[in-house]
Amino acid sequence: MNASNPARQRRPLRLAAAAALAIGLAAAPWSASAQGAWPDKPIVMVVPYSAGGPTDVVARMLAVPMGKSLGQTVVVENTVGAGGTIAPTRVAKAAPNGNTILIHHMGMATAPALYKKLNYDPLKDFEYIGQVMDVPMTLLSRKDFPANNFQELLTYVKANRDKVSLANAGVGAVSQLCGMLFAHQIGVQLTTVPYKGAGPALNDLMGGQVDLLCDQTTQTAPVIKDGTRVKVFGVTTPKRLSSMPNLPTLDEQGLKGFDVKVWHGIYAPKGTPPAVLEKLNVALRAALQDDMVKQRLAELSSEIVPLDKQTPEGMRTHLVAEIDKWGKVIKAAGVQAD
């Protein structure tokens, strides 16, 4: 008879619903706490180039202060190959949880024009954390190169174009682009020698195996200041460097309008939560205010970008402009990397 009482039948259902509600309410704070706990394990910062190269130097410089702000270790991993395109492909396909990020230079802007087949889209497959800094480049030669100044260099290169070798850090590297623009502007074609990274290229230049190299001051400033291992012919920015005021620009020595400046930015996979991106951006901006970072960048003749470029919006705006700029240059030069 009790089994036929509707009120008694509904009582267990009401109790079950109340229990489920209680469990849900108890779980809600836990879920918010779990989301707010990021990062809960080390963060991997992927570098597209070899250890010891310019971008690697920047990554390792930022990793410690960023890790301090985030409360987790930032581990730098070098994923080398295909002109710096393997690393962005890896990060674009990584889980969008903030645990894998990418640091890359202006190669993100040049790759769409250099490669007919690219496994990622710089404007569609990434979230932007912020721009880091601008790095000038310098034109160097081996120590025993016959020319002693820029005018002598031009004369020698034009007279011996078939014998002069121009090293670079690999296809698509900024050293290749800088060397390409230099050769194009003086009207010659030089034998290019690609390496697997800027470090090996500079080592062979100092060892006398190659003649010329155009590379970033994060790599070249120490050997230039040393004064015994290379010759330097100029800086690629329109203005002289405050850290090396006696080094003339290529522009003032006759290559009018020659302006190659390397910028770096940090990316995350598309779909990374806004709260995670915000934490990464805060950590980046804090790292750029770190006294040791500022001192080290000054020593390497690099400039921290203005605050408006340290934002995701500022970085994306700059990337769009750079893709347009370099696309025109590369197309005019008829250069392809694949």
Report d(CA 8, CA 13) in Å as an integer.
Answer: 10
Q: What is the DSSP string of 184-218?
A: HHHT---EEEE-SSHHHHHHHHHTTS-SEEEEEHH
Report d(CA 195, CA 111) in Å as an integer.
Answer: 18
pLDDT band at residue 27, thresholds of 50, 70 and 90?
very low
Within 8 A by CB and 6+ apart from 306, the residues are none
R_g of the chain, CA atoms, integer Å: 26
pLDDT in tens, 33-44: 344 589 999 999
CB atoms within 10 A of CB 136: 28
**For the chain, percent helix, then strand, then coil, each to nearest 5?**
45, 20, 35
Report d(CA 47, CA 58) in Å as an integer.
Answer: 10
Secondary structure E strands in 221-332? 230-235, 261-269, 303-304
Residue 183 pLDDT > 50: yes
pLDDT in tens, 66-92: 999 999 999 999 999 888 899 999 999
pLDDT in tens, 220-251: 989 999 999 999 999 999 899 888 999 999 99
Distances in whole angstroms, Cα of residue 288 to Cα of each of 69, 101, 104, 265, 310:
12, 17, 16, 12, 9
Report d(CA 152, CA 159) in Å as an integer.
Answer: 11
Contact 143, 230 (CB under 8 A): yes
CB atoms within 10 A of CB 170: 24
